Amino acid sequence: MPAGKAAGQRCVQLDEHERCRLFGRPERPVVCASLQPQPDMCGASREDAMRWLARLENQTRPHAQ
């Protein structure tokens, strides 16, 4: 995804098990490699983690000009 990924859009690099196909590879985007999961981010379930990521995406979404 050379131009990035829109908020709410599923990353094309996720496989059928929701695992990153680029994990550990040099072409993995810096933003992905720098994301360090913490307990408050992950919550108690996958749904908690996905809600946290959705909020993060919305908060960092570029504003249309």
pLDDT for 64 equals 58
Sorted by where each begins, the domain ranges of the chain are 11-60
Note the residue count of the chain.
65
Q: What angle do CA 56, 23, 39 make, to 5 degrees?
A: 45
Q: Which long-range contacts (CB under 8 A, 24 or more apart) does 41-47 make?
A: none
Contact in structure between 22 and 11 (CB atoms under 8 Å): no
Q: Give the tens place of pLDDT for each residue, 4-62.
A: 777 778 889 999 998 999 999 999 988 888 888 899 999 999 899 989 988 888 888 77
pLDDT for 54 equals 87
Residue 65 pLDDT greater than 60, yes or no: no
Threshold 0.85, pTM exceeds: no
